[in-house]
Amino acid sequence: MGSAAAVERLLFSRVEVWLVGLILLVALVGAFIYGALVKYAVDHPGAAGPVGEAAITVADLPVEAKNAMDQLVAGQKVSLLAYDQRFDGQTGFTYSYLPGSRPQAGYLLLSRYDGDASQSVVELVDLNSQQILHRWQPDFAEIRKLFDVKAALPDSNWNDPAERVRLIHPLPTADGGLIYQNDSPLVKIDACSQPVWVANGIYNHSNESAGDGSVWVPLYRVPSDLHGVDKGFQEDRIAHVGPDGKVLFEKSMVRILMENGYGHLVFGTADYAHDPTHMNDIQPVLADGPYWKKGDVFVSLRNVSSIVLYRPSEDHIVWLKQWPWVNQHDVDILDDHRISVFDNHKYNFRNNRPEVHGHNDVKIYDFATDTVSSPWAQAMTDQDVRTIDMGRQEIVSDDAVILEETDYGRLMELQRDGSTGWEYVNRAGDGKIYLLNWTRTLDRAEGDAFLAEVRAAGCTAHLEAKL
Q: Could you list the pLDDT tens digit for every one of the 467 residues in the chain?
A: 566 665 555 555 665 666 767 777 887 877 778 667 656 665 555 566 667 666 655 655 554 444 444 444 444 456 799 999 999 999 999 999 999 999 999 999 999 999 999 999 999 999 999 999 999 999 999 999 999 998 888 778 899 999 999 999 999 999 999 999 999 999 999 999 999 999 999 999 999 999 999 999 999 988 899 999 988 899 999 999 999 999 999 999 999 999 999 999 999 988 898 999 999 999 999 999 999 999 999 999 999 999 999 999 999 999 999 999 999 999 999 999 999 999 999 998 877 678 999 999 999 999 999 999 999 999 999 999 999 999 999 999 999 999 999 999 999 999 999 999 999 999 999 999 999 999 999 999 999 999 999 999 998 644 444 33
pLDDT at 4 (0 to 100): 63
Backbone φ and ψ of 108, nearest 5°: -115, 140
State the pTM of this model. Answer: 0.84
CA distance 141 to 167: 13
Q: Which amino acid is at 318?
A: V
Contact between 218 and 205 (Cβ < 8 Å): yes
Closest CA to 300 of 354, 248, 253: 253
pLDDT at 441 (0 to 100): 97
CA distance 395 to 332: 9
Furthest C-alpha separation in the chain: 98
Domain extent listing, the chain: 2-75, 86-162+252-466
Contact between 395 and 443 (Cβ < 8 Å): no
176-182: long-range contacts, CB 8 A cutoff, minimum separation 24: 176/450, 176/453, 176/454, 176/455, 176/456, 176/457, 178/109, 178/122, 178/136, 179/207, 179/215, 180/111, 180/122, 180/207, 181/207, 181/217, 182/157, 182/158
Closest CA to 317 of 331, 298, 345: 298
Backbone φ and ψ of 24, nearest 5°: -65, -40
Residue 133, helix vs strand vs coil? strand
pLDDT at 71 (0 to 100): 43
pLDDT at 14 (0 to 100): 62
pLDDT at 305 (0 to 100): 97
CA distance 278 to 315: 20
